Amino acid sequence: MKLVIIQYNAGNIQSVLYALERLDVQARVTDNVELIQSADKVIFPGVGEASTAMHYLKERGLDNVIVNLKQPVFGICLGMQLMCAYSEENNTSCLGIFEEQVKLFKPTDATIKVPQIGWNTISNLKTDLFKGVTEESYAYFVHGYYAAIGNRTIGTTNYVQPYSCALHKDNFYGVQFHPEKSAKVGEQIIQNFLSL
Amino acid sequence: MLTKRIIPCLDIKDGRTVKGINFEQIRDAGDPIELGAFYAEQGADELVFLDITATIEKRKTLSELVNKIAHRINIPFTVGGGIKTEDDVSALLQNGADKISVNTAAFLDPTIINRFAKNFGSQCVVLAIDAKCETDNNWYVYLNGGRTKTEKLVTEWAKEAVDLGVGEILLTSMNHDGTKQGFALDITAQLAETLPVPIIASGGGGNEQHFYDVFTKGKADAALAASIFHYKEVAIPDLKQYLHQKGLAIRL
């Protein structure tokens, strides 16, 4: 299986690569359009800021490449947010694969911190991405913006309010949390993606 | 619900895990990779690796070690010790660290916080503060692994650093560190209640009750300890079970 991780100006790419290596899976980190298009599966990671990342993708034509992929694509954290329609983070138009909007957490209680950093539960899990994953499992999150709940929601988490921790449309999957850092639960989800 | 985090800290010197009592008298407590993997398996929520000799010896943190740790461990980890430049941060993140922590260098040149936050994101910039309560009952910032006193109040420095872009604060009470008599609840709560970023409490955790107290009375988001875990005085699964039974949100 040819597995590609999209290289762009966002963090955690190495972490995803190492997580795959722990599972004895080899992946290629690249921004080469042909390699991405010809891969069996594509991982679109990301920790960073939405407008800078979108700008980078557009400059290289990667935005069009990603939306037209037919093989399974797995967006992680910022990767998932960029697959949505729009992000409030610096008023950014995103890839529009998922109709959902990405918004800033606005807690009314001052003791609730933004960004959310840490382990939270994932619930209402749907699709084979979560095969064998128990409801209310814990996953590791680091994010200040969230995707609202919508038609494409395949998992929910509650922080400030319920939101989408996972989205799915056709061949596109995205998770807000970091499976590469979510211990055994995360490894199961990565394995599930690889088995799709 | 977002859980409270339990974070074992591995102080590193020459590639080995050590722990100082009140930052002195260092004892060897094992191989950091093995120990880190063991803690991850036991249910630690994160790990912190601090290269405690880095500041004095001007030694770069061990990117190679970080790389080995990242290949082995499936939970987030922070690396600190002598980090001064974007290149330092970049090397550590490239080798698989999730966050970096800064202490003395950020105090001496606060603009690095801003630069790191801008280049790598606030979520990966942790400010470590070594704090000591003096006879005037105020908490002061100490530098260089607790050897150099400053006139800066902890509350002021923490606030400034948050404004500059740190994503979390790791607060170590020098008065409590190594005593196993409980965490510094007052200063921890003061920061946790006034700042919009998570506070990791460190120093003084000796038993399960101390962790419960720092999460409830101290309002900490996370609690860090070292020797009690290294010497198996408190086992992480037991600690987490205890906190869960007491009604806290804990990942089991």
pLDDT attached to residue B155:
98
Q: Which residues pair with B47 in a beta bridge?
A: B77
Alpha carbon B70 to chain centroid, angstroms: 18
Contact B219 A111 (CB under 8 A): yes
Distance CA A119, CA B4 (A): 8
Contact criterion met (CB below 8 Å) for B101 and B50: yes
- Cβ contact, residue pair B124, A21, below 8 Å: no
B222-225/B5-13 β-pairing: parallel
Average pLDDT value for residue range A135-139: 98
Domain regions of chain A by residue span: 3-195
Instruction: State chain B's mean pLDDT as an integer.
Output: 90
Residue of A12, A13, A16, A18 to mutate when probing chain B, most B C-beta within 10 A: A18
B110 preceded by cis ω (within 30°)?
A: no
- Please check the confidence at residue B220 and state whether its pLDDT lies above 60: yes
Average pLDDT score, chain A: 95
The model scores a pTM over 0.90: yes
Is residue A180 annotated as a catalytic residue, yes or no? Answer: yes
CA distance A69 to chain B (A): 27
User: Which domains, from first to last, does chain B contain?
Assistant: 7-245 (3.20.20.70)
Flag whether pLDDT at B26 surpasses 60. no
A residues 167..196 contacting B (CB < 8 A):
178, 180-184, 186-187
CB B228 within 8 A of CB B211: no
- Residues of B with catalytic roles: 11, 130
Report CB contact under 8 Å: B74, A19: yes
Decide if pLDDT at A165 tops 90.
yes
Residue B74, number of CB atoms within 10 A of its CB: 24
Confidence (pLDDT) at B24 = 38
**Which of A56-60, B131-135, B226-230 has the weakest average pLDDT?**
B226-230
Higher local confidence (pLDDT), B178 or B76? B76
Contacts of A120 in chain B (CB under 8 A): 1-3
**Distance (Å, whole) CA A50 – CA B96:** 22
Tokens of B165: 């872009």
Q: Does A145 touch chain B (CB under 8 A)?
A: no
Name the nearest CA neighbour of B148 among B41, B49, B55, B224: B55
Per-residue pLDDT band for A10 (boundaries 50, 70, 90) equals confident
Pairwise CA distance, residues A83 & A76, whole Å: 10
Q: For residue A110, what pLDDT is reported? A: 75
**Burial B10-35, CB ≥16 within 10 A → b, else e:** bbbbeeebbbbeebeeeeebeebbeb
- Sorting pLDDT into bands at 50, 70 and 90, what band is B21? very low
Q: Please give the Cα distance from A187 to A192 (Å, whole number).
A: 8
pLDDT-wise least confident of A66-70, B23-27, B195-199: B23-27
Residue A173 is inside which H or E element, if any? Answer: strand A172-175
Distance CA B33, CA B141 (A): 31
Alpha carbons B41 and B24: distance in angstroms, whole number: 30
Concerning whether A77 is annotated as a catalytic residue, the answer is yes
DSSP 3-state of B26:
strand
pLDDT in tens, B94-149: 889 999 999 999 999 999 999 999 888 888 999 999 999 999 999 999 999 899 99
Q: Do B5 and A19 touch (CB under 8 A)?
A: no
Q: Which residues of B touch A114 (CB under 8 A)?
A: 196
> What is d(CA B124, CA A62) in angstroms, rounded to the nearest whole number?
26
pLDDT of residue B53: 65
B114 token code pair: 């801003």
Predicted local distance difference test score (pLDDT) of residue A136: 97
CATH says A3-195 is which class? alpha beta
Strands of chain B (E only): list them: 5-13, 16-21, 24-28, 47-51, 77-80, 99-102, 125-133, 139-143, 148-153, 168-173, 199-202, 222-225
Is the confidence at residue B51, as pLDDT, over 50?
Answer: yes
Contact yes or no for A11 and B120 at CB 8 A = yes
Look at the alpha carbons of A100, A106, A109, A111 in this order and tell me if their dihedral is positive or negative.
positive
